[in-house]
Structure 1
Amino acid sequence: MSSTQERDEREHVSQESDERVGADLARTLEEAARALLERGEEEGVEHTLGLVVRGAVQTVPHVEQAGISLVERGGRVQSYVPSSQVVRELDELQNELGEGPCLDSIWYEQRTLVDDMDQAHDRWPRYAPAALERDVGSLMSFQLFTERGSAGALNLYAARPHVFDESTADAGRLFAAQAALVLHGAQHIQGLHLALDNRDVIGQAKGILMERFGIGQQQAFSMLVESSQHTNMKLVKVAEWLTGEHEKKSGAS
């Protein structure tokens, strides 16, 4: 076989491999999107992020382990849907040490690529040896950016060094984008539920006033608004106080 034929054969095999990876990726993302729609809010979010993580392990070349690091209140990073105990340990370790590629991606960079963990001692002098002890040779970490800023990072691990290149980074970025969309939707859902909860407690407070004073809905609402203005408290806080006092008295009687 001539060199030209060999080159053509390699290009054909490479093209078929790229098409297969693309088809697997598309199928995984479709399953993740469908799962979010079919399941309940919190369960759907966790299940869908788990699908994204498993899909990344199954689809992105050379990725053997994966997980998502999410920022909690107070800035602490929580390991979420890790594919293994090692991934969970590495997240917890970064919290303890205050250094590591996942933290860098969350707070500073859109993407952190570690081509060889053995060469990362200068950057993360305590994290790098710990990662090597857990057979992590390469790592890619992608920031999950939503409307409220950085929500966390998608972290992809490989045992061997020098296995991630721009093509694998592009595939990983697609999974990170899907995870960010899921988190964006979850934040919207949380805001919607907060609004519904506020509406419910205000409705309860109106009902208490209507029963106590024999007034209509509009008058009861006006009383809540006036009380809010006079006490310099938010309307929902006034409603919460009123319903709390009503429950105390009901329990006492």
Structure 2
Amino acid sequence: MTSRSQDPQPDPGIPDLTAKVSALSRDAAAQATITSVLCQLQAAVGAEHGGALMLGPGNRIESAEGSDAVVAHADALQAHLGEGPDLTLLEGGKSLLVSDTHSETRWPRWAEAVAELGLRSLVSVKLATRDHVLGSVNLYSSRPDAFGDDDREVAEDLARRAAVTVSASITARDLPAALDSRILVGQAQGIVMERFDLSNDEAFAVLLRHSQSTDTKLRTVAEQVVQEYSVPAESA
């Protein structure tokens, strides 16, 4: 009598791999949106090069996208030197024009370095929705005085409309992680409620207090509670 073959068992690593692939796909979609916006802005004002600086929490520069290595280097110099059009835009305003980097005095170190890269003029526009600053876009030319006020107005208008699309793509990328965090914190609250006979609000206060006292992210504290099923006694 032949034995029946056993049904194949699911690979426990597949769900984790699927989640990673999904996250990479969302990152790629957000990056593709930013690249598309950058190309549209370049074409609209006739820029030879373009770069985008995107911001993370606390208005820190989180990522950059450039049409080529020269632009990527020029934009990265702003963070390195602590000066440049993007950093100025974060303090206010919608756009900036640089007629000639050889004679630019607002950011002398950055302008000198960028001029040596062969980038002579640019228009920089803020990428922002009504509620959030997402980043900024720099459109470069190898010629001085390549852009005027008309180009700046066109870039401002396109950037304002494009910001909505970029914001939506970033939200789609980050939403699953945010939902995962809420679920994780909720699970940790349930464990603390059961162990210490606390209300929902009291349990959350315990997690938050431990997060603050140990300078640890709330999600990390919740993850530790769920994984180890333990809370430091002094936190309760």
1:114 lines up with 2:98 in the alignment: yes
1:164 lines up with 2:147 in the alignment: yes
1:136 lines up with 2:119 in the alignment: yes
1:71–1:146 Cα change, 3 Å: same
1:228 lines up with 2:212 in the alignment: no
1:17-166 residue pairs with structure 2 within 5 A? Answer: 40-57=25-42, 59-73=43-57, 75-120=59-104, 122-166=105-149
Post-superposition offset of 1:68: 0.7
Q: Quick check: 2:35–2:65 contact (8 Å CA) kept in 1?
A: yes
Q: Tell me how far apart the structure 2 counterparts of residues 70 and 230 of structure 1 sit (CA, whole Å).
A: 34
Post-superposition offset of 1:174: 3.3
Q: Quick check: 1:71–1:151 contact (8 Å CA) kept in 2?
A: yes
> What TM-score do you get using the length of structure 2 for normalisation?
0.67
Post-superposition offset of 1:187: 5.2
SS at match of 2:143: coil
Letter in 2 for 1:170: E
Q: Which residue of 1 aligns with 2:167?
A: 184
Q: Quick check: 1:63–1:157 contact (8 Å CA) kept in 2?
A: yes
Which structure 2 residue ranges, 5 or more long, are not aligned? 1-23, 210-217, 231-236
After superposition, the C-alpha distances for 1:141-171 in whole angstroms (9 at most, x for unaligned) are: 0112235543321110011112212332233
Task: Compare CA radii of gyration and give the structure with the larger one.
Answer: 1
Q: Quick check: 2:45–2:155 contact (8 Å CA) kept in 1?
A: no
Percentage of pairs with the same residue: 30
Q: Tell me how far apart the structure 1 counterparts of residues 59 and 106 of structure 2 sit (CA, whole Å).
A: 21
Post-superposition offset of 1:243: 1.3
Alignment coverage as a number of residue pairs: 199
> What TM-score do you get using the length of structure 1 for normalisation?
0.63
Q: Tell me how far apart the structure 2 counterparts of residues 82 and 74 of structure 1 sit (CA, whole Å).
A: 22
Q: Tell me how far apart the structure 2 counterparts of residues 199 and 109 of structure 1 sit (CA, whole Å).
A: 36
Post-superposition offset of 1:242: 3.6
Q: Tell me how far apart the structure 2 counterparts of residues 148 and 177 of structure 1 sit (CA, whole Å).
A: 12
1:202-221 residue pairs with structure 2 within 5 A? Answer: 204=187
Q: Tell me how far apart the structure 1 counterparts of residues 135 and 32 of structure 2 sit (CA, whole Å).
A: 17
1:193 lines up with 2:168 in the alignment: no
Q: Quick check: 2:207–2:222 contact (8 Å CA) kept in 1?
A: no
Which structure 1 residue ranges, 5 or more long, are not aligned? 1-38, 214-221, 248-253
Higher relative contact order (CA 8 A, sep 6+): 2
Q: Tell me how far apart the structure 2 counterparts of residues 109 and 203 of structure 1 sit (CA, whole Å).
A: 41
After superposition, the C-alpha distances for 1:99-127 in whole angstroms (9 at most, x for unaligned) are: 1122212333211111222221x222211
Post-superposition offset of 1:139: 0.4
